[in-house]
Homo-oligomer: A and B are copies of this chain.
Amino acid sequence: MTELHPASLDHIDLFRACTAEERASLARQCSWRHFHPGEQIIDRASESRDVCMIVEGRVRVVNYSLSGREITFDDVNAGGYLGELSAIDGEPRSASIVALTETHVAFMSPRLFQETVTKHPEVAWQVMKRLARIVRASTGRIMDLSTLGANNRVHAELLRLAKPGLKPDNTAEITPVPIHSDIASRVSTTRETVARVMSDLARDHIVERHGNSLLIRDFEKLEAMVEEVRGD
A residues touching B (Cβ–Cβ < 8 Å)? 63, 65-67, 69, 71, 73, 84-85, 88-89, 91, 94-95, 114, 117-119, 121, 124-125, 127-129, 131-136, 138-143, 145-147, 188, 229-231
| A89–B230 alpha-carbon span in the complex (Å) | 24
Copies in the complex: 2
| A94–B133 alpha-carbon span in the complex (Å) | 11
| A117–B132 alpha-carbon span in the complex (Å) | 15
Chain B residues, CB < 8 A from A142? 71, 73, 138, 141-142, 145, 188
| A131–B130 alpha-carbon span in the complex (Å) | 10
Cβ of B145 and Cβ of A188 under 8 Å apart?
A: yes
Cβ of A125 and Cβ of B135 under 8 Å apart?
A: no
| A146–B64 alpha-carbon span in the complex (Å) | 10
Cβ of A85 and Cβ of B141 under 8 Å apart?
A: no
| Residue from B84, B129, B143 in contact with A89 in the complex, judged by beta carbons closer than 8 Å | B129
Cβ of B147 and Cβ of A69 under 8 Å apart?
A: yes
| A127–B88 alpha-carbon span in the complex (Å) | 10
| Known contacts A94-B136, A125-B114; A143/B71 CB under 8 A | yes
Chain B residues, CB < 8 A from A135? 85, 94, 131, 134-135, 138
| Residue from B63, B125, B230, B231 in contact with A117 in the complex, judged by beta carbons closer than 8 Å | B125
| A134–B124 alpha-carbon span in the complex (Å) | 17
Chain B residues, CB < 8 A from A229? 66
| A145–B153 alpha-carbon span in the complex (Å) | 13
Shortest Cβ gap from A143 to chain B (Å): 6
